[in-house]
Amino acid sequence: MQIYDFTIIVPLYNEEDNMPELERRLSAYLDTCSMKACVLFVDDGSSDGSLDCLKAMCSRHGNFRYISFGHNCGLSAALKAGFDYADSPYIGYIDADLQTYPEDFEKLLPYIREYDMVTGIRVVRGDTVFKKFQSKFANSFRRMMTGDGASDTGCPLKVFRTHAARRFPAFKGMHRFFPALLLLQNGARYKEVPVRHCRRVAGSSKFSLWNRMIPAFVDCLGYRWMKSRYIEYEVTSAGSGCPEDNGGTAI
């Protein structure tokens, strides 16, 4: 039985220092959310005390739950697991680094019944100049290679229709291509909405120049190949029947 309308997926890896504030922000937001909502944490094989923190948090909040990987699998795997385990018609995504605000889901949710995905845009970035340059270059290159028209696929604040999110093909780097992957689905649409962004105050980023730029380049080539081979179909009719009663046994 469906209990919640909106599941917020929070993937995390070694974010122990952020957990107390993360708990405070998310629990406060759930009290005011415009939909009946819950939080699903996905621990991506953390090696610090993040998993213990999650267990304690979920014991204090009936609308918190978690799943955990046995080893680090990456952000795309964590999000895919969240899509699969969510039990609600709508899914949200926010990072555990506290650089975006749960309250800003309220800027995205009004559009989710009209669009299949609503994604935030970090208009005013709280990152370093070098990180902003990386992001700007990567977004420009991805737009050129995919034609998705998206301004900021790296913004960790998004809302999806669950049925659309579950149709994304799973691969490492999937999280960089949500708008492009969505557009492969017949008639699917997305909308971009400005959201707030701030500096990281605890923990450390899991992405660097080398594990961000080089895989993104390779993934763009892979996406172009996949797009040319992608299968999309529409069932226009279906039927069922039963064997005639001729004294035999239906198998």
Distance CA(61)–CA(42), nearest Å, equals 16
> Which pLDDT belongs to residue 91?
98
pLDDT level of residue 115 (50, 70, 90 thresholds) = very high
> Which residues does 243 contact at the CB level (< 8 Å), separation at least 6?
250
- Position 251 scores a pLDDT of 44
pLDDT tens-digit map of 137-149: 666 666 666 778 7
Which domains are assigned to the chain?
6-229 (3.90.550.10)
Predicted confidence (pLDDT) per residue in 199-238, tens digit: 767 655 555 555 556 677 777 777 787 777 777 777 888 8
By residue count, the chain amounts to: 251
- Integer-rounded Cα radius of gyration of the chain: 20
Q: Is the pLDDT of residue 4 over 90?
A: yes
| pTM beyond 0.85 | no
Give the whole-number percent of the chain exceeding pLDDT 70: 82
- Residue-wise pLDDT tens digits, 13-46: 999 999 999 999 999 999 999 999 999 999 999 9
